[in-house]
Structure 1
């Protein structure tokens, strides 16, 4: 179960994971908790948007705070199964606010007429999720050890490139970062964004398989929160990349 998503990779390392005299994890429990987290994210995101609209000067501060809080929440929930329920909810609250604010910023950047890119991003993300779930459930995609190794290696390669570009940007004034990620007129930027989306989509199959393994191995029911959080992290990542892709297309069209 080792892979990029830290929520899943930490489960294997925890000696207290097995449910001996406690209720064990179930797919139903994972599904319900995942729905709950997304419900919390959407609800708080709408509430946060209304608050931000009455205080426009707080937009960027709220966005940065929400993203930072979400990052910390994932780390804590990954390390402690006891705290996973609380910090999973904190992550949902923070990411709900962050994604709504980020979506509004993207929409405003391209004018109110293009606000439908947000709705389209939601629809595409949902289609990717259910499409990959169908492929996994029907065994059209089988998660093998070789597939896991490939995805893990590819993920580390992506991370290495991002870190290298970040360091290089300190010395070249951000030219490399702009060339690879910021120049919306560059075919390379469009290609890389598509690669990131495909990577996120195929990572979902690993998460589905990990969720199945966690249930089959009889892990404690509390780990449902960690699995649900891991799924949410991946879906949020795909949504952001899809939104970015649509923004790039809109910019090229203009």
Structure 2
């Protein structure tokens, strides 16, 4: 099965290998021989078919991951002392980045890594949220409501085919996301050396940059929804629902953090 999405193409190839691994060449196909006999001369039966992924699988896994993020975030919020807040969230951000890259470039679905990512990112989100809530009371609830509002809006737009994940759209959005990631990484490194670029201040540049990030993060849901739809169509094994849910979780966390930052710009001076 072919698809324009490189991630799905890679996962699809891996899934095909998994399905083929349990069967003997030519079994059940006209013009081919019977399965290879075992050591005792018998013919072992083929293993049961792999259960395919469904949209319900992705929904359940996404809810589970969001629950883990919530529990981990609440634990970090209440257990990490304020004096260790910054160091803890930087550490969680670095670990989460490494796990995210490993999951993204992995050729197989790994539920354990996805769950670990949710735990680490939950701690990161919880610590960042605690810092913002300390300055602006009620901002976390506002950001959560806005984030899920955007998520459901994009789901409706995708369902109605108002926005389509065409190959051109996917390539363009992935390129923009890569550029934004590079800019944010450079800006973060410069900030460690005391260089302020203004990208994360509450001036016009900072507000504009946050708005761009929010738009791109919102559009990334279209790619995630398309990956789920195509994955179901391709018949990927059920455990690949964890990989699809991971993509949705990444977009939700990114969108939440950008919305949180944008709202803070209008709450008063830092």
- With the shorter chain as reference, the TM-score category is 0.7 to 0.9
Structure 1 residues 174, 123: closer, same or farther in 2, change over 3 A?
same
Question: In the TM superposition, what are the counterparts of 1:1-254 in structure 2 within 5 Å?
Answer: 9-14=6-11, 15-18=13-16, 20=19, 21-52=49-80, 55-78=81-104, 79=106, 81=108, 84-108=110-134, 110=135, 114-162=136-184, 169=190, 174-175=195-196, 177=197, 179=198, 181-184=199-202, 186-251=203-268
In structure 1, C-alpha distance between the alignment counterparts of 2:180 and 2:243, rounded to whole Å: 24
SS in 1 for 2:267: helix
In structure 1, C-alpha distance between the alignment counterparts of 2:183 and 2:97, rounded to whole Å: 21
User: What TM-score do you get using the length of structure 1 for normalisation?
Assistant: 0.83
1:222 offset after TM fit, Å?
1.5
Q: Deviations over 1:122-148 (max 9, x none)?
A: 000000000000110111222212212
In structure 1, C-alpha distance between the alignment counterparts of 2:154 and 2:241, rounded to whole Å: 20
1:208 offset after TM fit, Å?
0.3
SS in 1 for 2:266: helix
1:30 offset after TM fit, Å?
0.5
In structure 2, C-alpha distance between the alignment counterparts of 1:166 and 1:92, rounded to whole Å: 22
Structure 1 residues 144, 154: closer, same or farther in 2, change over 3 A?
same
Larger CA Rg, structure 1 vs 2: 2
Unaligned runs of 5+ in 1: 4-8
Name the count of aligned residue pairs: 235
Q: Deviations over 1:40-70 (max 9, x none)?
A: 1111221222212xx3333233222322222
Normalized per residue, the structure richer in helix is: 1
In structure 1, C-alpha distance between the alignment counterparts of 2:204 and 2:144, rounded to whole Å: 24
In structure 2, C-alpha distance between the alignment counterparts of 1:159 and 1:77, rounded to whole Å: 17
Hey, what does 2:32 align to over in structure 1? none
RMSD: 2.4
1:232 offset after TM fit, Å?
0.2
Q: Which has the higher contact order (CA 8 A, sep 6+)?
A: 1
